[in-house]
Amino acid sequence: MRVKQLQEEILDLKKNCDVTILAHYYQTIQIQQIADYLGDSLGLSQIARDKANTEYIIFAGVDFMAETASILNQDKHVLIPNYESCCPMAAFLTPEMVKDFKKKNPGLPVVTYVNSTAAVKAESDICCTSSNSVNIVKNISKDFHTETVLFGPDANLADYTEQLSKIKTIKMPENGHCYVHSQLSIEDVEKRKREYPNAKLIVHPECIRAVREIADFIGSTTKMYNYVKDYNSDINEFIIGTEKGLLERLAEDFPHNKYYLASDKMICYNMKKHSLELIKYILENLDDKNYEIKVPKQIAERALSPINKMLDYS
């Protein structure tokens, strides 16, 4: 009852505010339900640029996502409900490391996953997401007349991209990963497949290669969503190899299916640091600078080009 009341209070407050609420699929279903737009990293980046036509943007995601929205909307106020909602993957790569990789590999393009800091993006030639990394790497390698790119910070996505694009990826760093996806083991998924032999296994490219190789489908969060939406069979069972929030979204939108989380460990506690209470507080205190994410102008200007180039290629 308290959840429903909070949701109604948030929606009432929002009516009188010039604000757009963006939420990633990995948020709790209660937060997803009050968002204006849902999406994955690429989708929300596009929405932040093209559809968030309000003075304020509340971004229920991790910090790099709010930074991207700030880069694309320098004239707006981007607010994050909990500033401790950080992405451990992004911490694997620093701008100094990128500069060092460029020095050791002159002439190679730098492709950075959007799961990176604004300062890292500013050192990049182009950004990518898990949904467009293969296309991005193919295009940028042609632009630079090379069969090799620098790619970071996720080593598993780099491996996946190299497999499909046939372009060599030098990983920045070798061990960068998402702690949610990389901990999904072959034992985990084989156990689930034994338990639910008719279920389709769908996984994220950030998973390790051994897991990807036995999956029925590999794709970004949105592509996984669309795979389920478009799936046409008498047997509609799915083992979900990504963060629990997507399973909750699918269960709400397509309740006639059966869903099983590939592992009980598939929870991003950093994403889950947001709450309805914090979103309500922000709506009541939109000018509280403690919740604003503002990328400095000099970094934002340099980071804008690789982000826009990604969006153009998408």
DSSP character string of 31-44: HHTT-SEEE-HHHH
| CATH topology identical between 2-86+271-294 and 184-261 | yes
Separation CA 221–CA 203 (nearest Å): 9
Nearest to 60 by CA among 33, 35, 87: 35
What pLDDT is stored for residue 52 in this prediction? 86
Close Cβ partners of 200 (under 8 Å, ≥ 6 residues apart): 216, 217, 231, 237, 238, 239
pLDDT in tens, the chain (314 residues): 599 999 999 999 999 999 999 999 999 999 999 999 998 877 887 888 888 889 999 999 999 999 999 999 999 999 999 999 999 999 999 999 999 999 999 999 999 999 999 999 999 999 999 999 999 999 999 999 999 999 999 999 999 999 999 999 999 999 999 999 999 999 999 999 999 999 999 999 999 999 999 999 999 999 999 999 999 888 799 999 999 999 999 999 999 999 999 999 999 999 999 999 999 999 999 999 999 999 999 999 999 999 999 988 87
CATH fold for the domain made of 184-261: Rossmann fold (3.40.50)
CATH top class, domain 90-178: alpha beta
Domain segments of the chain as ranges: 2-86+271-294, 90-178, 184-261
What pLDDT is stored for residue 1 in this prediction? 56
Output the CATH code of domain 2-86+271-294: 3.40.50.10800
Q: Which residue has the tokens 């699929």?
A: 25
What pLDDT is stored for residue 133 in this prediction? 97
Separation CA 49–CA 57 (nearest Å): 11
Contact call for residues 49 and 33 (beta carbons, < 8 A): no
What pLDDT is stored for residue 44 in this prediction? 86
For the chain, the helix, strand and coil percentages under 3-state DSSP, each to the nearest 5: 45, 15, 40
Nearest to 39 by CA among 219, 271, 222: 222
pTM for the whole thing?
0.92
